[in-house]
Amino acid sequence: MILYDVLPRAICKYGKEKQTIQTIEELAELQKELTKLLIHGKTEGLLEELVDVYIMCRQIEMIYDIDEGDFEDMLFEKLKRLDKRIKEGDADGKIPLSAGS
Ligand SMILES: [Mg+2]
């Protein structure tokens, strides 16, 4: 897959610190797009920023040696917790928005 070819080369070319900073910037851009969506109902930039964040998150996994199995385990646990909250509801009766921590 092109992802596993290009991303290591990006990390090599730009460096771990720069790619980490770029990740922060892309997260801010996604935050801005989500804010625009909530305030103005506009989704024009949402897909692009979601993809940018996805690409940067994959680089972060590579840079900081996030184990794929550990990631899958954590994902599974978080999804199980979210599923439980959806089914049972929180103690305060609020609808859960995410798996949270
Ligand atoms: Mg961007």
| Alpha carbon distance 63, 47 (integer Å) | 24
Nearest of 96, 71, 72, 101 to residue 85 by alpha carbon: 96
How many Å lie between the centroid of ligand 1 and the Cα of residue 80? 31
Q: What's the predicted TM-score (pTM) here?
A: 0.85
How many Å lie between the centroid of ligand 1 and the Cα of residue 47? 10
| Alpha carbon distance 49, 43 (integer Å) | 10
pLDDT of residue 101: 55
How many Å lie between the centroid of ligand 1 and the Cα of residue 50? 8
Which residue is listed with tokens 């994902």?
75
pLDDT of residue 1: 84
How many Å lie between the centroid of ligand 1 and the Cα of residue 90? 35
How many Å lie between the centroid of ligand 1 and the Cα of residue 67? 26
How many Å lie between the centroid of ligand 1 and the Cα of residue 26? 5
Q: How many CB atoms lie within 10 A of CB 30?
A: 20
How many Å lie between the centroid of ligand 1 and the Cα of residue 22? 9
Along the 101 residues of the chain, how does pLDDT read in single tens digits?
899 999 999 999 999 999 999 999 999 999 999 999 999 999 999 999 999 999 999 999 999 999 999 999 999 999 999 999 999 986 565 655 666 65
